[in-house]
Copies of this chain bind each other. A is one copy, B any other.
């Protein structure tokens, strides 16, 4: 089946967004790039620090509440609907719930051609890139580096520890059907 959705899953500062932009550059057809950052920018400011929302702790851990989950479920179904309506979509995600997070996307994307890609990065390297970026809550890279991959199944894994975003994107692009 032709690939209609590419799901990139990895921790903060693992390099997902850079890979997504490189994929948009490499792939001959136009692909939408959407993800966790898009979704978090769309929720109410108050939800980013409320009990029903998302919480960025001082240690970089992220916790997520009931209302957040409800909006997120609708978001996921909407992104899947874009794929069903003919758009090719790169989803740039952080599976904080590991296998349970993947299951939510699996269910929503049922019937679509999906390429599941794990984006790994050594936690120490990701932590240093977090410092270099300067625009992220410190500690998220370390907290998420292994957590987001627990129990998740992939078609393909890339590792940005020693490879550029474009190199990883080329490997992924070759697998796009």
**Contact segment of A31-39, A95-103, A111-119, A143-151:** A31-39
A46 to B15, CA, bound (A): 21
Task: Tell me if A132 and B165 are in contact (CB < 8 A).
Answer: yes
Which has the most chain B C-beta neighbours within 10 Å: A24, A38, A41, A44? A44
Q: Which residue of B lies closest to A168 (CB)?
A: B132
Chain A residues numbered 68-93 whose CB sits less than 8 Å from any CB in chain B: 70-71, 73-75, 77-87
In the bound complex, CA of A75 to CA of B88 (Å): 11
B77 touches A81 (CB 8 A): yes
Chain B, Cβ-Cβ closest to A73: B85
Structural contact, A132 and B21, CB atoms closer than 8 A: yes
- Check A25/B52 contact, CB under 8 A, given A77-B82, A85-B73: no
| Interface presence of A57 (CB below 8 A) | no
- Given known contacts A30-B67, A47-B30, A131 and B21 CB-to-CB distance under 8 angstroms: yes
Q: Which chain B residues border A19 with CB–CB below 8 Å?
A: 132
Q: Residues of B contacting A131 with CB < 8 Å?
A: 21-22, 25, 45, 166
- On chain B, the residues within 8 Å of A85 by CB distance are 73-74, 77-78
Q: Judging by beta carbons under 8 Å apart, are A45 and B134 in contact?
A: yes
Cβ 8 A contact of A75, one of B43, B80, B87, B164: B87
Known: A21-B131, A22-B132, A74-B87. 6 other contacts (CB 8 A): A17-B134, A24-B44, A31-B44, A32-B71, A78-B85, A132-B165
Which A residues fall within an 8 A CB radius of B? 15, 17-19, 21-22, 24-25, 30-34, 38, 41-47, 52-53, 67, 70-71, 73-75, 77-87, 125, 128-129, 131-134, 138, 164-166
